Amino acid sequence: MTPAFDPDVTEYTATTENASNKLTAVPDYGAAVSVELNDVAVTAGSDGKYTMTWAEGENAVEITVTEGTESNVYTITVNPGT
């Protein structure tokens, strides 16, 4: 992921292989996370990871982190390889 995670930065890019379709989003203590892939909600599995199926071209992963009444939205543009 580029750049490296910084809570003050909200836009990221990543390149991955098609076989790498899991994302782990771990919030700070007390925060909740929701994830969308191309505007469709994704539910975490029992392992806490979000499994996604990449579309060809760019994929928009939006991660919303909510703590109390404050939310931050982070967007990762993922380009799957072959």
In this structure, how many other beta carbons lie within 10 angstroms of the beta carbon of residue 63? Answer: 20
- Boundaries of every domain in the chain: 11-80
What predicted TM-score, i.e. pTM, was given to this entire model? 0.84
Looking at residue 81, its pLDDT comes to 73
pLDDT in tens, 47-72: 888 888 888 889 999 999 999 999 99
75's enclosing H/E stretch is strand 70-80
Sheet hosting strand 70-80, strand order edge to edge? 11-16, 70-80, 59-67, 32-37, 40-42
As its CATH architecture, domain 11-80 has Sandwich (2.60)
> Mind listing the pLDDT tens digit for each residue in 26-43?
777 778 899 999 999 999
Beta bridge partners of 40: 37
